Amino acid sequence: MAGYMYILECSDGSYYTGSTKDLDRRLQQHQNGEGANHTKKRLPVRLLYYEQYDRIDTAFYREKQVQGWSRAKKEALMNGDLDTLHDLAECTNGTHFSVFKVPDFDSAQSSDKNTTEP
């Protein structure tokens, strides 16, 4: 069954990211105050963006991924700005640098040895 990951803009300007099997029905639920607590307190909402997937579980995983993104990164996704999206995906807090010593390639030697020999 198909699934959708979607991003709504709430009346206070905040974004809500969700997933559903039936996008039209879910949007109506949000507008009626039957959606998530975040949206029911910030009506009306407006659909800004959605992605369609073959399976609902894929849409759900995508929802969880995008929920963790910054506002700027979500806006780059919605605007189709792949360069900015890529730049915002770069680690800026230093937690993803390798803790392992990188070999000194200036002193590396090439090997003439045939690696297929026993």
Q: Quick one: pLDDT at residue 86?
A: 83
Q: Provide the token pair at 44.
A: 């009306």
- 70 within 8 A of 84, measured Cβ to Cβ: no
pLDDT tens-digit profile of 64-115?
999 999 999 999 999 998 888 888 877 655 655 544 444 444 444 434 444 3
Q: Quick one: pLDDT at residue 35?
A: 81
Residue with tokens 């997933």: 19
Q: Quick one: pLDDT at residue 112?
A: 44
Q: State mean pLDDT over 54-64.
A: 95
Q: Select from 3.30.360.10, 2.160.10.10, 3.30.70.20, 3.40.1440.10 the CATH code of 3-89.
A: 3.40.1440.10
